[in-house]
């Protein structure tokens, strides 16, 4: 048969059947059982080796990590501070007493910020002794309760407006956790006259 001659449908079908399984040579898809066995064995060993290499690499990398302290920390030595309510620009807080309501956005944000510190939200936390460092050595850590009464006039308990209605607004500054920081003494922020 030459290249220009077309094969009939039956001839093509017979060739496909012969390719799928050749009973005279015992080939399946053009390979013998031994050939298929060797290929499967090669890929089984190859992918098994890759999986073992990946597993060993992950295990070796995880051995360099500490469960207590992150490996890489900020290069900045000063603590991160968060200010509430968040100012619109830089650290400028402006409101006009003539507008109604003049300071509602600030008091709403302060109430939203202090909500997780309510007694109901903190009932599962540890009641730590005031003034004594609560040092823990893992692996199970507990958080201390933070009573909002420590904020005195800025707690929102006695004054729902956080001092904004009197012209003495409260601005809360929260310091983020610093690993291995051991505070000494009794740090306080002094009330500075304006």
Judge if 93 and 54 occupy the same domain.
Answer: no
Structure tokens at 61: 């990398």
Strand runs labelled E in the chain: 21-22, 27-28, 81-84, 172-175
Q: Give the per-residue pLDDT at 48.
A: 97
172 lies in the same domain as 101: yes
99 and 59 housed in the same domain: no
If one compares 179 and 116, the residue with the highest pLDDT of the two is: 116
Report the distance separating Cα 193 and Cα 171, nearest Å: 15
Residue 2 lies in a domain: no
17 and 57 within one domain: yes
Residue 192 has pLDDT above 70, yes or no: no
Q: Are residues 101 and 48 in the same domain?
A: no
The more confident residue out of 41 and 141 is 41
> Is residue 159 in a domain?
yes
**Residue 46 lies inside a defined structural domain of this protein:** yes
Do 83 and 156 share a domain, yes or no?
Answer: yes
Mean pLDDT of 173-179: 75
Burial label for 103, CB within 10 Å (0-12, 13-18, 19+), is: buried
Is 62 exposed, middle or buried, given 0-12, 13-18 or 19+ CB atoms closer than 10 A? exposed
- pLDDT-derived band at 56, boundaries 50, 70, 90: very high
In this structure, the answer to whether residues 36 and 115 fall within a common structural domain is no
CA distance 68 to 63: 13
Residues 58 and 99 in one domain: no
Q: How confident is the model at residue 167 (pLDDT cuts 50, 70, 90)?
A: confident
d(CA 182, CA 4): 89
Q: Based on the fold, state whether residues 57 and 86 are members of the same structural domain.
A: no
Q: By residue range, what is the domain housing residue 27?
A: 9-63
Q: How confident is the model at residue 183 (pLDDT cuts 50, 70, 90)?
A: low
In sign, the C-alpha dihedral spanning 70, 74, 78, 80 is negative
Look at the chain and report how many structural domains it folds into.
Answer: 2
pLDDT in tens, 73-118: 666 555 677 788 877 777 777 777 666 677 788 888 888 988 888 8
Residue 67's pLDDT band (cuts 50, 70, 90): confident
Is 150 a domain residue? Answer: yes
Closest-CA residue to 35 (of 27, 45, 44, 23) = 27
- Confirm whether 189 is domain-assigned: no
**In this structure, is residue 165 part of a structural domain?**
yes
Sign of CA dihedral 122, 128, 132, 137: negative
Q: 50 and 108, same structural domain? A: no
Q: Is residue 87 part of a domain?
A: yes
User: Do 93 and 173 fall into the same domain?
Assistant: yes
Q: What's the CATH code of the domain at 112?
A: 2.60.40.1660
Instruction: Tell me what pLDDT residue 30 has.
Output: 75
Average pLDDT, the chain: 79
Q: pLDDT at position 86, please?
A: 78
Question: Residues 91, 32: one domain?
Answer: no
Q: What is the pLDDT of residues 141-165, one digit of tens each?
A: 788 888 888 888 888 888 888 888 7
Residue 106 lies in a domain: yes
């Amino acid at each position: 048969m030459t290249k220009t001659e077309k094969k009939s449908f039956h001839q093509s079908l017979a060739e496909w059947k012969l390719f799928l399984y050749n009973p005279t040579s015992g080939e399946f898809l053009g390979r013998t059982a031994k050939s298929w066995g060797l290929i499967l064995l090669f890929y089984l060993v190859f992918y098994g080796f890759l999986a073992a290499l990946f597993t060993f690499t992950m295990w070796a990398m995880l051995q360099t990590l500490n469960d207590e302290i992150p490996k890489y920390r900020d290069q900045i030595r000063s603590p991160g501070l968060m200010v509430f309510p968040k100012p619109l620009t830089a650290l400028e807080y402006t409101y006009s007493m003539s507008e109604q309501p003049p300071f509602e956005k600030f008091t709403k944000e302060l109430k939203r910020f202090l909500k997780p510190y309510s007694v109901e939200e903190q009932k599962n936390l540890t009641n730590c002794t005031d003034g004594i460092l609560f040092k823990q050595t893992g692996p199970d850590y507990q958080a201390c309760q933070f009573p909002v009464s420590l904020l005195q006039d800025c707690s929102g308990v006695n004054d729902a407006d956080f001092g904004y209605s009197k012209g003495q607004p409260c601005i809360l500054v929260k310091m983020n956790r610093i690993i291995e920081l051991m505070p000494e003494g009794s740090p306080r922020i002094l009330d500075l006259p304006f």
